[in-house]
Amino acid sequence: MKIPYRKLLQLSLIKPDPMKKTSTQRVAAILPMRVECDALVGLKNRSLRFAAALASVFVVTSRLLAQFNYADFSNAENLSILNDATVLGRVMQLTPATGGQNGTVFHAFEQSLGNGFETTFSFQINDDASGNPGGDGLAFIIQRQGADVSGPRVGYIPYSIPDCLAVEFDTWCNRNLDDPDGNHISLQPVGPSPDGYSEFFHSLSLGSTSSIPDMSDGNLHTARISYEPGVMRVYLDDLATPALTVPIDLRDVNGTSVLDAAGRAWVGLAAGTGGAYEAHDILSWSLTLAPGPLLSITRLGSSQVRISWPTSAPGYNLETATSLPASAWTTVTDSPAVVGDSFLLDLDSTAAAGFFRLRKL
Ligand SMILES: [Ca+2]
Ligand SMILES: [Ca+2]
């Protein structure tokens, strides 16, 4: 009776290094839900406590979704470092303080952003020694083309990447591009057919703010970007109050998705210089992914179980298996009812054991 539980517990104690692809793939193969599914519960007919324990095991496991944390860049493993970006000791320097530079760094692995995420990075921007105001700034990038796509040689956002979203930290006022000033944050979308120029215009901004500290004063600044389906928040130095809040669905940005069909995309940081220039240094960078919806199970009498999950997580298939590891999962074709903020599905169950998971469509 306890064999499935012990087996699952053993699996949950495998702590994959999210920076190692081989480890991630190995656990994904054992527990397919880590990649495609975000919640799973188990049921034993004679023990509801057992079922609850099993559910908690999988909540812990699901938090091991691929993510990263570079306290510094002395180890730049699993980063794709492009164009003029380079590692200088512990610092990821996106551009030096010279003209006509462009540097980008993408994390090598596609990330499951669809349920939400939070990314935090610290940066320093130093003008050239002459004291003239420098440019152009940096950007956090979400795109679904790959980890090795590079943007134009000049310009801090790889605007040649189709279906891209850039959260720009703009330090140079391009009057010809309608920039409001030389110190603003803006969400800039790039559509499916960018020409590498028109996408720079501030008139395309999905939301922006200039009520922020001076980003290119040479001091250490911390930026945080959080996303939950429907809204993105951008913080600068004050990590309690967002500097910018923008309604946005990454699956529908001006009619196109910056995520792939499974809700994944690559994330990166980029910076550029032009005639004006400054050094753009990244000192740390982390990404945390929101766990998927929690699937719960309760018993109804002796022959039925009730499966439920939040309506805030649409677009999942409910699947079931009789044992784990499962050789096959079967889609539950019954349609759930919507009660309050939950999907509810009552199923006949006389089997000795049953397991359920949600799989992203
Ligand atoms: Ca600008
Ligand atoms: Ca701008």
Q: Residue 184 has what pLDDT?
A: 97
My answer on whether omega of the bond before 4 falls inside 30° of 0, hence cis, is no
DSSP conformation letters of 22-46? HHHHHHHHH-THHHHEEEEEEEETT
In a domain, 151, yes or no: yes
The ligand minimizing its distance to the Cα of 185 is 2
Q: Residue 256 has what pLDDT?
A: 93
The pair of structure tokens assigned to 111 is: 């990330």
The ligand minimizing its distance to the Cα of 202 is 2
pLDDT over 60 at 38, yes or no = no
Share of the chain above pLDDT 90, in %: 55
Are 121 and 225 a contacting pair, CB within 8 Å?
no
The ligand minimizing its distance to the Cα of 133 is 1
Q: Quick one: 159 and 267 in the same domain?
A: yes
190 CA distance to ligand 1 centroid (A)?
16
180 CA distance to ligand 1 centroid (A)?
9
136 CA distance to ligand 1 centroid (A)?
6
Domain termination residue (choose one: 258, 289, 320):
289
Domain termination residue (choose one: 236, 269, 289):
289
Judged by DSSP in three states, 253 sits in strand
Q: Residue 3 has what pLDDT?
A: 31
What is the distance between the alpha carbons of residues 40 and 307, in angstroms, rounded to a whole number?
11
129 CA distance to ligand 2 centroid (A)?
24
The CATH code of the domain that includes 335 is 2.60.40
170 CA distance to ligand 2 centroid (A)?
5
Q: Quick one: 85 and 192 in the same domain?
A: yes
Q: Quick one: 236 and 321 in the same domain?
A: no
pLDDT over 80 at 289, yes or no = yes
Q: Which of 144, 153, 107 is nearest to 258 (CA)?
A: 144
In a domain, 258, yes or no: yes
The ligand minimizing its distance to the Cα of 137 is 1
Q: Which of 146, 140, 149 is nearest to 270 (CA)?
A: 140
Residue 330 is inside which H or E element, if any? strand 330-331
What is the distance between the alpha carbons of residues 240 and 202, in angstroms, rounded to a whole number?
27
172 CA distance to ligand 2 centroid (A)?
8
178 CA distance to ligand 1 centroid (A)?
9
17 CA distance to ligand 1 centroid (A)?
38
Q: Quick one: 281 and 303 in the same domain?
A: no
In a domain, 18, yes or no: no
The pair of structure tokens assigned to 117 is: 């995420």
**Alpha helices by DSSP H, the chain:** 3-12, 21-30, 33-36, 48-62
Q: Quick one: 298 and 221 in the same domain?
A: no
Q: How much is the average pLDDT of 250-264?
A: 93
280 CA distance to ligand 2 centroid (A)?
16
The pair of structure tokens assigned to 135 is: 């440019």
Top mean-pLDDT range of 148-152, 213-217, 300-304: 213-217
284 CA distance to ligand 1 centroid (A)?
24
- Lay out the sheet containing 316-321: strands in order across: 37-44, 353-360, 316-321, 330-331
Q: Quick one: 168 and 216 in the same domain?
A: yes
Q: Quick one: 206 and 307 in the same domain?
A: no
User: Where do we find the tokens 């990447």?
Assistant: 161
The ligand minimizing its distance to the Cα of 156 is 1
Are 249 and 113 a contacting pair, CB within 8 Å?
no
The pTM (predicted TM-score) of the whole model is: 0.71
User: Where do we find the tokens 């083309």?
Assistant: 145
In a domain, 314, yes or no: yes
Task: Give the other-Cβ count within 10 Å of 113's Cβ.
Answer: 24
DSSP 255: T
pLDDT tens, residue by residue, 335-355: 999 999 899 999 988 777 778
Domain count, the chain: 2
104 CA distance to ligand 2 centroid (A)?
18
Domain termination residue (choose one: 231, 263, 289):
289
Q: Quick one: 226 and 118 in the same domain?
A: yes
Q: What angle do CA 157, 259, 102 make, to 5 degrees?
A: 15
Q: Which of 126, 67, 99 is nearest to 282 (CA)?
A: 126
270 CA distance to ligand 1 centroid (A)?
14
Structural domain of 200: 65-289
C-alpha 353: how far from its chain's center?
Answer: 35
338 CA distance to ligand 2 centroid (A)?
44
In a domain, 125, yes or no: yes
Q: Which of 109, 169, 123 is nearest to 284 (CA)?
A: 123
202 CA distance to ligand 2 centroid (A)?
5
Q: Quick one: 44 and 184 in the same domain?
A: no
What is the distance between the alpha carbons of residues 214 and 199, in angstroms, rounded to a whole number?
25
pLDDT over 60 at 49, yes or no = no
Are 186 and 202 a contacting pair, CB within 8 Å?
yes
In a domain, 297, yes or no: yes
**Alpha helices by DSSP H, 196-347:** none
Q: Quick one: 223 and 350 in the same domain?
A: no
**Which of the residue ranges 75-84, 164-173, 291-300 would you say has the lowest mean pLDDT?**
291-300
The string over 215-227, giving b where at least 16 C-beta atoms fall within 10 Å of a residue's C-beta and e elsewhere, is bbeeeebebbbbb
The mean pLDDT of the chain is 80
The string over 229-251, giving b where at least 16 C-beta atoms fall within 10 Å of a residue's C-beta and e elsewhere, is beebbbbbeeeeebbbebebebe
The CATH code of the domain that includes 135 is 2.60.120.200
Q: Quick one: 269 and 304 in the same domain?
A: no
102 CA distance to ligand 1 centroid (A)?
14
What is the distance between the alpha carbons of residues 193 and 173, in angstroms, rounded to a whole number?
25
Give me the numbers of helices (H) and strands (E) for the chain, helices first please.
4, 24
179 CA distance to ligand 1 centroid (A)?
6
pLDDT over 90 at 30, yes or no = no
C-alpha 99: how far from its chain's center?
Answer: 32
Q: Which of 12, 50, 10, 60 is nearest to 354 (CA)?
A: 50
In a domain, 158, yes or no: yes
Q: Quick one: 233 and 341 in the same domain?
A: no
What is the distance between the alpha carbons of residues 141 and 107, in angstroms, rounded to a whole number?
11
pLDDT tens, residue by residue, 169-186: 999 999 999 999 999 999
In a domain, 26, yes or no: no
282 CA distance to ligand 1 centroid (A)?
19
277 CA distance to ligand 1 centroid (A)?
12
